[in-house]
Structure 1
Amino acid sequence: MKHHLAAAALALTFGTSAMAGEAEIRKSIVEFVGQDAIQSVTKTSYGGLYEVVLDSGELVYTDDKGSYLIDGQLIDLKRKTNVTRDRLNVINRVNIKDLPLDQAIKTVRGNGKRTLITFEDPNCGYCKRFVAETAQLKDVTIYTFLYPILSPDSLEKSKDIWCSKDRVAAWQGWMVDGKAAKSEDCADPIAKNVELGRKLRINGTPTLFLADGSRIGGYKPRAELDEAINQAEKEKTKAKPATK
């Protein structure tokens, strides 16, 4: 009986401590930021740190008193992994079924069995390099959301590409060969794409989503991307989106 009481008291002590720590952390960060912009506070298993996810999608760390704020990448030296990046991939996971794929340019390569979703700006240099690389991918369907956020004329270029008779050819022609699409009038989803991108907290291009809903921010070499696509296809039935 004494052992059970001791165990219960210990659990209560740690539970109360964790709650107190979270309350102090919230108070400190809200005072620092000037508004309640905290999505979650979670105690980690490393270094006695707490993980704080902000409404902006950013991830920062602090101590149990909320005395210090660490804004940066946390690296696990023993496992040689980027803890922050891996957590952000989980936090920013989406439900692919919820995405309006009819607002994207659909490019099918081979049997198209694998899935890759991208948000790209026609004036993005890394996007152009990415498009050239993905031309070598096999058996994949690529859904490209035109996402003009970089330059004043990105919007017009996006509309011209979308309103072309052959969107796939127009997109490839501009991104790979620098051939401007012929301007035609049509209803386009570009404004909806921008609204969607902001909702998903996409601040840079290219931003990629794989079949399991995981996110990749920025350019990735073809070999690494191919491997990531394959892994996501295996994981997609087990994936549980953290956000919608």
Structure 2
Amino acid sequence: MTLFALATLSLGACAKPAVADAEQTAAPANQAPLSAELKPAAPAAGTPDARAVAAIKKINSQLEVDRVGPAPFPGYREVIVAGTTAYVSDDGKYLMQGSVFDMTQKKDLSERSMDSFRKELLATAPKSERIVFAPANPKYTVSVFTDYECGYCRKLHSEIAAYNKAGIAVEYLAFPRMGMASEDAEVMANIWCAPNRNKALTDAKSGKLPAKIRCTSPVAKHYSMGQRAGLKGTPMIIAANGQAAPGYLSPSDLLQWLESVSK
């Protein structure tokens, strides 16, 4: 995400067409309230952390900083905001975005911070909130933000038996890419409210939509989590250590990727 994009970011704009602000944040009546987990306490006034948060708020007062702390280089604070990592000078005057690469460790430190945050964020969604397709003894488990109608989401789900056969458990979280005020969100809530979620999701991905059911679903919470995790489109596949795959991966490619990032 560029600096310009950060300055003009709308909190509901990820992976869907732009709509009015009120529509972006509205949620159907059967949605659970947005999760407040992992929201840090406000830093003490006058500290570099507080100046960093204030600098982000000057860009867009609606932005919520998910994490703030020392940067991996002196004179700056590292902030995670709206699914991206940025760096604000200790005096709050300068902001930078981009990867910080440690030449000694040969590691992208910005991505490492996002990975850590994603791992903690995903821990706030227990298995009872997810739709799980898993083999008896999985070697790997991935969290997948999905929509019922996107093409690559359907392709991934059509191969779910092959992922399981490869030893990969797939745990779905909901991300209605048309936004929380859309029919898409209502359908996703109906899937999560169905007596048999697995069947309802499988049916919906093949065009058979579930009946309307009233319950308190975690769809709004998952949608917020996807935005905070840096989701740019569905499906978003995340390994147990918080690393995000580059997009849809076939069963064999996903297994290869998981083996490489788990070393």
Please say whether Structure 1 and Structure 2 have the same fold, judged by a TM-score greater than 0.5. yes
Answering whether residue 80 of structure 2 is matched by residue 69 of structure 1, we say no
8 A contact 2:173–2:222 mirrored in 1? no
**What corresponds to 1:136 in structure 2?**
162
AA in 1 matched with 2:174: L
> Aligned with 2:70: secondary structure?
strand
Higher relative contact order (CA 8 A, sep 6+): 2
Q: Distance in 2 between matches of 1:93 and 1:128?
A: 25
> Aligned with 2:120: secondary structure?
coil
Residue by residue over 1:183-225, the C-alpha shift from the partner in whole angstroms, topping out at 9 and shown as x without a partner, is 32434554x232244256245433334334x142661424453
Match of 2:79 among 53, 61, 66: 53
> Aligned with 1:148: secondary structure?
coil
Answering whether residue 221 of structure 2 is matched by residue 221 of structure 1, we say no
Corresponding residue pairs, total: 208
The unaligned stretches of length 5 or more in structure 2 are 1-45
Q: Distance in 1 between matches of 2:49 and 2:239?
A: 36
Change in Cα spacing, 1:80 to 1:130, as seen in structure 2 (3 Å) is: farther
Match of 1:150 among 178, 186, 190: 178
Match of 2:198 among 165, 168, 173: 168
Larger Rg: 1
Change in Cα spacing, 1:27 to 1:133, as seen in structure 2 (3 Å) is: closer
**What corresponds to 2:129 in structure 1?**
103
The two structures have a TM-score, normalised by structure 1, of 0.62
The unaligned stretches of length 5 or more in structure 1 are 1-19, 236-244
> Aligned with 1:183: secondary structure?
coil
Q: Distance in 2 between matches of 1:49 and 1:146?
A: 39
Answering whether residue 239 of structure 2 is matched by residue 210 of structure 1, we say yes
Percent identity of equivalent pairs: 17
8 A contact 1:161–1:181 mirrored in 2? no
Q: Which has the higher helix share?
A: 1
8 A contact 1:117–1:209 mirrored in 2? yes
Q: Distance in 2 between matches of 1:107 and 1:140?
A: 9
Q: Distance in 2 between matches of 1:97 and 1:54?
A: 17
8 A contact 2:176–2:223 mirrored in 1? no
**What corresponds to 1:181 in structure 2?**
208
AA in 2 matched with 1:221: L
The two structures have a TM-score, normalised by structure 2, of 0.58
Q: Distance in 2 between matches of 1:172 and 1:31?
A: 42
8 A contact 1:114–1:141 mirrored in 2? yes
Q: Distance in 1 between matches of 2:123 and 2:53?
A: 37
Q: Distance in 1 between matches of 2:215 and 2:176?
A: 13
Change in Cα spacing, 1:31 to 1:187, as seen in structure 2 (3 Å) is: closer
Aligned-pair CA distance for 1:122: 1.5
